Structure 1
Amino acid sequence: MSDEINIFLTGATGYVGGAVLERLLKHPDCSRFRITAIVRSTEKADKLRKLGINVVVGSHSDADIVIENAAKADVVFTAADCDDMGAAQAILDGLKKRFENTGKQPILIHTVQQFSLCRCHKPYRCEVGTLTDRALGAFTYDKIYDDTDADQIETLPDTADHRNVDLLLVKADKDGYVKTYIILPSTIYGIATGHLVSLGIQNPHSKQVPRLIQLGKARGQAGVCGEGKNTWPHVHIDDIADLYITLYDAIVASSPAPGHGREGYYFGENGHYLAYDLAKAVAVELAARGVGSSTPTSFTEEEFSKNPRLGYFGTNSRCKASRGRALGWMPKYGDEDFYASIRAEVDVQFKD
């Protein structure tokens, strides 16, 4: 790469994308970075410009804008809608132009919700993604996906959620005009902090845990899918953001060269939790605020009929983040931190 490194980022104002941008702005090579972000909000665009970010106002679904900016990029970080096939294709089209103009393979670091690791297609009562199943809280499965095992990952059906975009990226890497890396966070938790949050640019909140709290508050009792015997991995927002930078630094260093394409899946996890234990932690905090008892109750058939996606909370998703750790990623927040984070999340829901 030249002295100037052109970076294009989607999802810069989001929970994950903002955390990645925060770290890029503090990176030792930041003076070499020319960062371009695409955002919808003109207000946030103005704030980002004051931080030295080149901003394009628009959507990552605006193909012409995306192609134009990807074609200028040495590195693209995507942290927006991972299901937008058109956006993914536009980024690849732009990066292909970059390759044709420079003869150098640009880098694409793409984000996929880890619950896209799904072994079943259109599972009953839920919309899930790559590694999940139809357990409905009845059991934990034994299979743990290891991101160093490409053969194992390729057993996932092509019809699984988000898989079409994954396969598009892997093919692009195989075609040789781009190096693709796919980061798959699990249950991301923790309220994001930092300069971008304080400026009102970055969304500081995750979705999974707050949604479970919101459901419990609305129904007057913390809920769980079935018996809550299903298992999920977790990762703190600061740890997952660090994984992006660890991977980026390893790519730039090129020694040892990190896996890409077919070998370029990077899970984000630092422990697993039982769904019942999470529901219990939510129940305790809600009960402390006068909502229900400290014991969660199962979602009812009537609740499922009104909201089939409740089944999502009863799925299994198990993985091992071996590739990131091999590159030097050292997540700091574990099981104890995960459960301890629930109190602050519940506090947020009672501020209004």
Structure 2
Amino acid sequence: MTSSKTHILLTGATGYIGGSVLQRLLDHPKRDTFEITALVRSVDKADRLNALGVNTSVASLSDHEKISEFVAASNVVIHTADADNLEAVRAILRGLKARHDKSGEVPIYIHTSGTGVLIDDAAGLRDTDVVYVDTNTEQIESLPLTAVHRQVDLDIVAADKEGYVRTYIVLPSTVYGIATGKLFDLKISNAYSIQIPIAIKASLDRGQGGVIGEGKNIWPHVEIHELAELYQIILDAALSDPGTPHGREGFYFGENGEYRLYDVARAYSQALYDLGKGRSPDPTSFTSEEAEKYFGGPWLGSNSRCKAERARTLGWKPTKVSKDFLESIRPEVEAIVAQK
């Protein structure tokens, strides 16, 4: 390291996952050894983060030269802002390479991808027996280049192979729960998820709980605070042990159970019905036009099955299970209806 402190650059600090990761960093037992910088677009948010002891750099993900410059001053980069912004990721990698070329240090890059890379075309009409395991490197490497997030992930693995950076790719599944902590109390970061809430909002708009196809497809899930803990565990492991699996072996699924889409749709349909916002407690199928309008297609009806074994070898022990996930649906519905 170039100083006694570990310089950490975080993108996405005002978001759901990024804010939760930043909250973990602020509460970290070794907080005084971290120099944390958040990349933000808003001067107002920057000022409010500064008041909490977080340095800020004001820029967007399209400011590639700035990003590379900020990254080159960092020992660790945690990117949570956009899993598919290839040019922003390449700017991050250029900054990491510049740091390595100048100092000889091999910096750490923790990137946020997603289990969307595993999806199929089931459209809610079937499940699948195919389950991806993050310790099965060959299975992950069999994923097609056309898969969601895949090109970005491959660029990151290639950078690790070149030796100028150690890369760790976190693949969250369906993230749920209302995030808590000072960053959320102060409205600096977004406290709500996207995947299930987008289905709730679509259902609210159409006046009836909906589901893609028959809702037979299966997805994994992970609670937001336990996901943030996963990032911390990977960071701590990477800082203490360069041998922590990285690069082609550095894929870490975020999951602690599975759900069938119909069961979730039934939960939010019941909640909407109870609140007088749905005609029936039983979900009805979104039409193809509605699926396109609300989701850009039937991807919510895809299968995405996985097992998070690698993170557990590092000591990650999530406890929130499918029962907790289903119980989280009603508070999400109530919050969305209240916002409307």
TM-score, structure 1 normalization: 0.93
Taking the aligned partners of 2:153 and 2:286, their CA distance within structure 1 comes to: 33
Instruction: Work out whether residues 135 and 249 of structure 2, in 8 Å CA contact, stay in contact via their aligned partners in 1.
Output: yes
The corresponding residue for 1:282 is 268
Across the two proteins, how many residue pairs are aligned to each other? 337
- The 5 A counterparts of 1:5-154 are 5-115=6-116, 130-154=117-141
1:227 positional shift: 1.1
Distance 1:19 1:165, change over 3 A: same
The corresponding residue for 1:215 is 202
The corresponding residue for 2:317 is 330
Correspondence 1:180 to 2:181: no
The match for 1:199 among 170, 174, 186 is: 186
Instruction: Work out whether residues 14 and 203 of structure 1, in 8 Å CA contact, stay in contact via their aligned partners in 2.
Output: yes
SS in 1 for 2:235: helix
- The 5 A counterparts of 1:339-350 are 339-350=326-337
Instruction: Work out whether residues 39 and 59 of structure 2, in 8 Å CA contact, stay in contact via their aligned partners in 1.
Output: yes
Taking the aligned partners of 2:252 and 2:325, their CA distance within structure 1 comes to: 21
SS in 1 for 2:318: coil
Taking the aligned partners of 1:308 and 1:250, their CA distance within structure 2 comes to: 37
1:312 positional shift: 1.5
SS in 2 for 1:350: helix
1:136 positional shift: 0.9
After superposition, give the CA deviation of every residue in 1:96-155 in whole Å (9 maximum; x if it has no partner).
11111221100000001321xxxxxxxxxxxxxx10011011111101000001100011
Distance 1:57 1:301, change over 3 A: closer
Taking the aligned partners of 2:19 and 2:337, their CA distance within structure 1 comes to: 25
Instruction: Work out whether residues 7 and 35 of structure 1, in 8 Å CA contact, stay in contact via their aligned partners in 2.
Output: yes
Amino acid at match of 2:4: D
What fraction of aligned residue pairs are identical, expressed as a percent?
A: 51
Instruction: Work out whether residues 212 and 291 of structure 2, in 8 Å CA contact, stay in contact via their aligned partners in 1.
Output: no
- Any unmatched runs of 5+ in structure 2? none
Instruction: Work out whether residues 284 and 295 of structure 1, in 8 Å CA contact, stay in contact via their aligned partners in 2.
Output: yes
TM-score, structure 2 normalization: 0.96
Distance 1:251 1:282, change over 3 A: same
Amino acid at match of 1:348: A
Correspondence 1:299 to 2:300: no
Distance 1:12 1:305, change over 3 A: closer
1:225 positional shift: 1.1
The corresponding residue for 2:212 is 225
Distance 1:40 1:178, change over 3 A: same
SS in 1 for 2:84: coil
SS in 1 for 2:268: helix
Correspondence 1:249 to 2:250: no
Instruction: Work out whether residues 225 and 310 of structure 1, in 8 Å CA contact, stay in contact via their aligned partners in 2.
Output: no
Amino acid at match of 1:140: D
SS in 1 for 2:220: strand
- Any unmatched runs of 5+ in structure 1? 116-129
> What is the aligned-residue RMSD (CA, Å)?
1.3
Taking the aligned partners of 2:266 and 2:88, their CA distance within structure 1 comes to: 39
Correspondence 1:270 to 2:233: no
SS in 1 for 2:298: helix
1:306 positional shift: 4.6
Taking the aligned partners of 1:197 and 1:301, their CA distance within structure 2 comes to: 36
The match for 1:260 among 243, 246, 258 is: 246
Amino acid at match of 2:290: E
Taking the aligned partners of 1:241 and 1:315, their CA distance within structure 2 comes to: 25
Taking the aligned partners of 1:345 and 1:310, their CA distance within structure 2 comes to: 23
The corresponding residue for 1:313 is 300
Amino acid at match of 1:326: T
After superposition, give the CA deviation of every residue in 1:186-216 in whole Å (9 maximum; x if it has no partner).
0000111100001111110110111111111
Taking the aligned partners of 2:330 and 2:17, their CA distance within structure 1 comes to: 21
Amino acid at match of 1:50: A
After superposition, give the CA deviation of every residue in 1:317-337 in whole Å (9 maximum; x if it has no partner).
000000111100011211111
Amino acid at match of 2:220: P
Distance 1:213 1:306, change over 3 A: closer
Correspondence 1:170 to 2:157: yes
Taking the aligned partners of 1:288 and 1:51, their CA distance within structure 2 comes to: 41
